[in-house]
Amino acid sequence: MADLPIAAVVRIAKKNGAERVGSDAAAALVEKAEAYIANLTKEANRLALHAGRKTIKEEDVELAVKSA
């Protein structure tokens, strides 16, 4: 089961120009968004640990985005 609410993902898609979003497309968007967030979190966590921290900071996320 997905952690991200489908309605929120559909809302984001509509705010970015999608007139309509089919249920299969919404499910695919949720799946891909969750995979992206998971990978980004893993990289940000690796950077935080490298800096000697357990807490992920904004700077870790920003660096993780650049390396992705």
Residue 46 lies in a domain: yes
Report the share of the chain in percent with pLDDT over 70: 100
Whole-structure pTM value: 0.89
pLDDT at 12: 98
Q: What is the pLDDT of residues 42-54, one digit of tens each?
A: 999 999 999 999 9
pLDDT at 6: 96
Residue 38 lies in a domain: yes
CATH no. for residue 26?
1.10.20.10
Report the share of the chain in percent with pLDDT over 90: 94
CB contact at 8 A, 10 and 21: yes
